[in-house]
Structure 1
Amino acid sequence: MKDFPAHFEELNVWMDKLGLAMPAVMQGFGALHQATIAKGALDSKTKELIALGIAITVRCDGCISFHVHDALKGGASKEEIAETVSVAILMGGGPSVIYGIEAMQALSQFQEKGL
């Protein structure tokens, strides 16, 4: 089983390093992220849950780490994350079951860490 909180921290370190190598690209990506996740017609929590569902269907471990973390930080409940996993499974089939399991593992690990 992956250690999702450790994976989240490691990715943050490497994104900082990537930002040093490609500052304009990473600043642009950061601005896109902030603008997209900002409250609008949808609140930030809902947007993070959508991003999590997409992360599961496109099979992105790092994205799962980030969006479970950020969904919890945004106030998502275990039940909301589980329902997001169920929608991802609907849209992504069997492979999304496997990545949905990873999302639930990440949820459990982040909750154990107090997030």
Structure 2
Amino acid sequence: MTGSGLDARLVGEVPGGADAAVQRAVYRIVQEALTNVRKHAPGASAVVEVRETGAGLEVTVTNTAPTRPALRLPGSGLGLVGLRERAENLHGTLTCGTTADGGYRIHATVPAREGA
């Protein structure tokens, strides 16, 4: 992502026909995930994948392991909780966890239409 200081790559895009609420949710999921990479995994690279499925949209943000120690930064620890609630409010899901190589993955599914 240009200008962010983060080595990130985007694969796919949100379809133009998705509801505004769904587009906002996808934007916030990606924004929070990349903020977390920057905050908790210094030096890591990230891949943002957005794909349309028969049921809606899937968004996955995966980062590699950090290449240097993370700074102790203040935070509420509620960022992922808020994203999970945002996905669930649209009748979607959000899961997250570490990867086998020491990275981290956030995966969300949301319907293409609010309330679907």
Is the TM value for this pair above 0.5? no
TM-score, with length taken from structure 2: 0.27
TM-score, with length taken from structure 1: 0.27
Greater percentage in helix? 1
